[in-house]
Amino acid sequence: MTARVVEVSNLVFGYDKRDKEQTLTDINFSVNKGEWVAVIGHNGSGKSTLAKLLVGLLEMDDGSISIAGINLNDNTKWEVRRHIGLVFQNPENQFVGTTVQDDVAFGLENINMPYEEMNNRVEEALKMVDLSELRFHDPSRLSGGQKQRVALAGILALRPSVLVLDEALVMLDPGSRRELLLTLKQLNKSSDMTIISITHDMDEAAEADRILLLEAGRLVDSGKPSDVFSKHQQLEPPFSEALRRMLKRQKNTVPDTYMTEEELVNWLCKSHLKM
């Protein structure tokens, strides 16, 4: 049985309540436990707004959100936040602690966790993001990518069942980014941590189980990466798809449907062998 950990129905939200213009209009989707969902869309399409609504930082105008079976409202938002964690686009102004480890522990202190357990969790989270050496440093004096890792560790330590990443890895160098994505993927598979990742990186999105495509505050598509990328040709395609389209222009034998990296590699090997 796949349980739905996130259910959003008829969600409506506007920043300016006097304005008829809405930032998000009639959003409907649900996410299953253990799923990895990528949310993509242009700047200003409402991705960050959606993330803030999911954790109850903004109050919806209409519709409903339910996280891990709890209907989100003003009374339940504290309970909901025990199940869902959000890593922000820019962690710059969000460091509470004066050292990395103090900051990572902040969320654990808030749930009144005993010291011993807290210590273990902090250690574990720091290891996951590869920051163990910098644990005594001042987070506000770290580099952009390191800051993002601190922020991520702060949420990972809480072990939320749903992890929302709002472009949380954009400042990481490609190597550590790949590594971190791999770690997250492991968590996603082994401990069923549901991940909703807002991203502009189409290669990362192509790896997701499902893609949600936002356009001007509306959810215009939701489906497997292959479907979404073949249907919306205006999207910047992931590397494998870009390559396929390029090859297609050169040679007609290239298949006309979307291919994942693996499929493309297989096809290339096979066709190459035939030549």
Partner 1 sequence: MNKLILGRFFPGESILHQMDPRAKLLAGVYFILVLFVANNWQSYGLLWIFTLVVMYLSGVKFSVYIRGVRPLIWLILFTVTLQILFTSGGKIYLDVGPITVSNFGIISGIYIFCRFVMIIFISTVVTLTTKPIDLTDGINALLKPLKRLKIPVDEISLMLSISLRFIPNLLDETQKVMDAQRARGTEFGEGNLLRQMKTLVPIFLPLFASSLNRAEDMANGMETRGYQSGEKRSTFRQLAWKRKDTLCIGTMIILTFGLIVLRTGGFIH
Nearest distance in Å: CB 263, Mg ion: 31
Q: Which does 45 bind (CB under 5 to 8 A by kind): ligand ATP, Mg ion, partner 1, none?
A: ligand ATP
Pick the closer one to partner 1 by CB: 67 or 213.
67
What order of strands is seen across the sheet that includes strand 62-67? 24-32, 4-13, 62-67, 70-71
**Binding to ligand ATP (CB under 6 A): which residues in 82-101?**
89
Beta pairing, strands 36-41 & 194-198: parallel
Residues 50-69 as x/- pattern, contact with partner 1 by CB under 8 A: --x--x-x------------
Among 22, 45, 161, 199, binds ligand ATP (CB under 6 A): 45
User: Using the rule CB under 6 A, which residue among 6, 11, 41, 88 binds ligand ATP?
Assistant: 41
Query: How near is the Cβ of 214 to Mg ion at its closest, in Å?
Result: 10
Q: In terms of CB distance, is 48 or 194 closer to Mg ion?
A: 48
| 3 state SS for the chain | CCCEEEEEEEEEECCCCCCCCCCEEEEEEEEECCCEEEEEECCCCCHHHHHHHHCCCCCCCEEEEEECCEECCCCCHHHHCCCEEEECCCCHHHCCCCCHHHHHHHHHHHCCCCHHHHHHHHHHHHHHCCCHHHCCCCHHHCCHHHHHHHHHHHHHCCCCCEEEEECCCCCCCHHHHHHHHHHHHHHHHHCCCEEEEECCCHHHHHCCCEEEEEECCEEEEEECHHHHHHHCCCCCCCHHHHHHHHHHHHCCCCCCCCCCHHHHHHHHHHHHHHC
Binding to partner 1, residues 98-157 (CB under 8 A): 98, 101-102, 105-115, 118-119, 122, 140, 154-155
For ligand ATP, the closer of residues 45 and 101 by Cβ is 45
258 sits near partner 1 (criterion: CB under 8 A): no
**158 binding partner 1? (CB under 8 A):** yes
Structure tokens at 21: 């213009």
Residue 140 tokens read as: 């506000």
Residues 170-199 that bind partner 1 (CB under 8 A): none
Judged by beta carbon, residue 145 or residue 223, the one nearer partner 1 is 145
Distance CA 210, CA 246 (A): 25
Minimum CB distance to Mg ion smaller for 86 or for 129: 86
Q: Which stretch, 42-50, 77-85, 175-183, 238-246, contacts ligand ATP (CB under 6 A)? A: 42-50
Q: Give the footprint of partner 1 on this chain (CB under 8 A).
A: 52, 55, 57, 78, 81-82, 85-86, 88, 90-98, 101-102, 105-115, 118-119, 122, 140, 154-155, 158
Q: Give the footprint of ligand ATP on this chain (CB under 6 A).
A: 15, 23, 41, 43-49, 89
Q: Give the footprint of Mg ion on this chain (CB under 5 A).
A: 48
